[in-house]
A and B are shown apart, each in its own frame.
Chain A
């Protein structure tokens, strides 16, 4: 089954404790992206990756890091989480060719930073 898998689905942690949210897709997609969703603000792009070892900032990259060492994985790293990063996070992937392709979303990760 084609899917985007995020882990963990839920996490409650404390300020300053490094955490990683993993994202994996089994569709051989080149493009992957991370979004955060906050009430009234819709989905805002954090980082995206066009292919292995190619990443770029989205609209709200501050406080986050990403890496793309393998095509299927695109982890989101919070080196020193703060309460304003409490949010619902979605990973997405799509094919990347000459024309824009629809994105497939994971089930989301709800992070609470105390």
Chain B
């Protein structure tokens, strides 16, 4: 069945450094890739998403890149701040399906 693998499961960086989280998906028909941030005890919140017709999307300090040939996509956070500490989830979905497949999550810790 469809699945999304996410790495690493935990990531610790120094404040100001960059963080990269990678996901690989199995369904080649997937064409929508959102990233969610979940702070402790809170709901997942969409931080950025990308569709398969673009290779990269940027929003201030966060960016997502997509490689459809290799079936992987990555989240890049630059100039990390302590408030970036959270669990990040990637997901994948195709337009013809209502199933959103999530990765297992990455716990990011930004050390002051």
Q: Which residues of A contact B (CB under 8 A)?
A: 31, 33, 35, 40-45, 48, 50, 56, 58-59, 90, 96, 98-100, 102-103, 105-108
List of A residues within 8 angstroms of B43 by Cβ? 90, 105-108
Complex CA distance for A35 and B43, rounded to whole angstroms: 12
A89 to chain B, nearest CB (A): 11
A103 touches B46 (CB 8 A): yes
List of B residues within 8 angstroms of A35 by Cβ? 102
Q: Which 8 pairs between the two chains have the least Cβ-Cβ distance?
A: A100-B32, A105-B43, A42-B104, A42-B102, A43-B102, A102-B46, A42-B105, A48-B98
Complex CA distance for A96 and B9, rounded to whole angstroms: 32
Q: Count of chain B residues with Cβ under 8 Å from any Cβ of A?
A: 25
List of A residues within 8 angstroms of B102 by Cβ? 35, 42-44
Q: Which residues 89-112 in B have Cβ within 8 Å of A in the complex?
A: 89, 93-95, 98-105
Complex CA distance for A65 and B45, rounded to whole angstroms: 26
B99 touches A58 (CB 8 A): yes
B99 touches A90 (CB 8 A): no
- Contact for A102 among B6, B34, B94, B103, CB less than 8 A: B34
List of B residues within 8 angstroms of A42 by Cβ? 6, 89, 102-105
A90 to chain B, nearest CB (A): 7
Complex CA distance for A45 and B93, rounded to whole angstroms: 12
Complex CA distance for A92 and B85, rounded to whole angstroms: 23
Complex CA distance for A105 and B102, rounded to whole angstroms: 14
